[in-house]
Structure 1
Amino acid sequence: MAAREYGQYCGVTRALELVGERWALLIVRDLLVGPRRYGELAAGLPRIPSNILAARLKELQEAGVIRRAPRSRVIVYELTPYGHELEPVVLALGTWGFKAMGDPRDEQVVTPDSMTMALRTAFRPDVAAGLPSTVYGARVGPAELLVRVDGPTLDVGRGDGPADLAFAAGPAIRHVISGQLAPSRAIETGVVQVLHGRAELLDRFASTFHLAA
Structure 2
Amino acid sequence: MAARDYGEYGGVTRALELIGERWALLIVRDLLVGPRRYGELAAGLPRIPSNVLAARLKELQAAGVLRRAPRSRVIVYELTPYGHELEPVVLALGAWGFKALDDPRDEQVITPDSMTMDLRSAFRAGIAAELPATAYAARVGEAELLIRVDGRTLDVSRGDGPADLAFAAGPGIRRVISGELAADRAIATGVVEVLHGRGALLDRFATTFHLAA
Which residue does 1:7 correspond to in 2? 7
Q: CA deviation at 1:101?
A: 1.0
Ranges in structure 1 where 5+ consecutive residues have no aligned partner: none
- Partners of 1:78 and 1:131 lie apart in 2 by 33
TM value normalised by structure 1: 1.00
C-alpha distance in 2, partners of 1:138/1:151? 19
Any residues of structure 2 matched to 1:178-193 within 5 Å, and which?
178-193=178-193
> Following superposition of structure 1 onto structure 2, how do residues 31-180 of structure 1 map, counting pairs within 5 Å?
31-180=31-180
Other structure's SS at 1:82 match: helix
CA distance in 1, matches of 2:162, 2:18: 42
Using the alignment, how far apart are the partners of 1:90 and 1:41 within structure 2?
A: 17
User: In the aligned structure 2, how far is the partner of 1:2 from the partner of 1:191?
Assistant: 43
SS where residue 106 of structure 1 aligns? coil
Cα distance per residue 1:90-123 (max 9 Å; x no partner): 0000000001111100010000000000100000
Whole-angstrom distance in 2 between the partners of 1:142 and 1:2? 34
Instruction: Give the gaps of 5 or more residues in structure 2.
Output: none
**How far apart are residue 2 of structure 1 and its match?**
1.8
Superposition TM-score, scaled by structure 2 size: 1.00
2:82 match: secondary structure: helix
| Structure 2 counterpart SS, 1:4 | coil
Matched residue SS, 2:131: coil
Structure 1 stretches of 4+ with a deviation exceeding 4 A read: none
In 2, the alpha carbon distance for the partners of 1:3 and 1:203 equals 47
- Give 1:23's aligned residue: 23
What per-residue deviation string (whole Å, max 9, x for no partner) do you get for residues 121-180 of structure 1? 000000000000000001000000000000010000000011000000000000000000
Q: Deviations over 1:5-27 (max 9, x none)?
A: 00111100000000000000000
Give, in whole Å, the separation in 2 of the partners of 1:152 and 1:168: 25
Question: What is the CA–CA distance in structure 2 between the aligned matches of 1:5 and 1:211, rounded to whole Å?
Answer: 35
Q: Distance in 2 between matches of 1:53 and 1:185?
A: 42
Identity within the alignment, %: 84
Matched residues, number? 213
Amino acid at match of 1:9: Y
The CA RMSD measured in Å over matched residues stands at: 0.4
